[in-house]
A = this chain, B = another copy of it.
């Protein structure tokens, strides 16, 4: 029997066969993690000789600009000490300055270099931010998540021994969101709030009025906001791509002094491989003191706790050359030589196309509205099939050579699947259409 025959016989994978495979690998689609799903899809691809459409990966789908790699080569060649010298815990002055300039040009806020701290990817920043937020005040060890969200942030809270609460952005937007948040803050157990805008996976973007409301609450209740800007400026309904000119990218920094902002290089600069990001600590927060921090960080001052109590004992700084790469990217973007938002705009075009193929096959968007406007097109969107649970939709997608993340694992209380478009290309559109068509016909026959 040759390969193509196997393929024809076995594809789509029968429900019986997939059930058996899931039992064999002890996998429960209701609780599957991204990595388990990755491994399952790898195995199915081999076993059934099928190239899956892998919507489950949330990874850059394009190459990074040559600016970063060239810079790394340059600094290695020009500075013989770069590999032997410990980086400063609070980061290289060049990157700190470049971050400060970039913030001014793209989000129109003024923060000194000293407030910009490089971290080993945004993960590292989010880890330390949550550690500080949840350990400032005795009794306020809960992190509030504006969900759906990136599941690993909750794993970080778990590592840190913190508690977790969640508000689903499907249920609360605008004034309802602010009121709901205030009802949480009143309990005095919330140390920090974390969100991403655009949101992973719904691509919901918080409105200025919402940021304003959140900012006021953060100040009023002395809670810290963690703005995870993983997809900074990637709401393409507004063009934020011109440095130093309005419109500027919205930020909580305009509405409170109680903030951390995390800027990752992974998505906006497609620079995931060298693990480099920056956390911006509000200049006021930097010098704020909380007695309870001492127990964990040997200091009561937030900025010192972040750097000497956070960066130092976890990684003792960030790889030197990666810091130069990110500095060069920020510098090129700030002077308008590198239009990073234009580079990643391709995700918008893919989302538009892929979304319409799903819709043409009786799938619906879960998070379809952004306070009255249709949701923006970007890195992710969310689909569902009326009458089916997340795990059931995933089950049938897998049978038909497609994978995505069940929404329940993202903290959403809705049934559906996260679709990441970073790895699809034009040539996949026809295949997707065919597979969804077969899947749809199958479900309609049931």
A residues touching B (Cβ–Cβ < 8 Å)? 33, 35, 59-60, 62-64, 68-69, 72-73, 76-77, 80-87, 89, 120-121, 123-124, 127, 131, 152, 155-156, 158-159, 161, 266, 270-276, 295-298, 308-310, 312-322, 325
Contact = CB atoms under 8 A, between A and B. Distances in A.
Nearest to A59: B86
Contacts of A156: 313-314
B87 A275 contact: yes
Interface SS, A side: helix
A112 to B, nearest CB: 18
Contact of A73 (B60, B73, B89, B127): B73
B60 A84 contact: yes
A274 B308 contact: no
A276 B120 CA distance: 12
A121 B271 contact: no
A372 to B, nearest CB: 36
Contacts of A72: 72, 76, 321
A322 B325 contact: no
Contacts of A82: 69, 273
A19 to B, nearest CB: 24
A158 to B, nearest CB: 6
A239 B156 CA distance: 44
Given A124-B314, A275-B120, A159 B297 contact: yes
A81 B69 contact: no
Contact of A321 (B121, B312, B316, B321): B321
A120 B120 contact: yes
24 contacts: A35-B308, A60-B84, A60-B85, A63-B80, A63-B84, A64-B83, A69-B82, A72-B72, A83-B271, A83-B273, A83-B325, A84-B270, A86-B272, A87-B275, A120-B315, A120-B319, A121-B316, A156-B313, A156-B314, A159-B296, A159-B297, A275-B315, A275-B319, A314-B315
Contacts of A274: 83, 319-321
Contacts of A155: 298, 309, 312-313
Given A59-B85, A63-B83, A69-B82, 8 more contacts: A62-B84, A72-B76, A86-B273, A158-B295, A159-B309, A161-B296, A273-B319, A276-B319
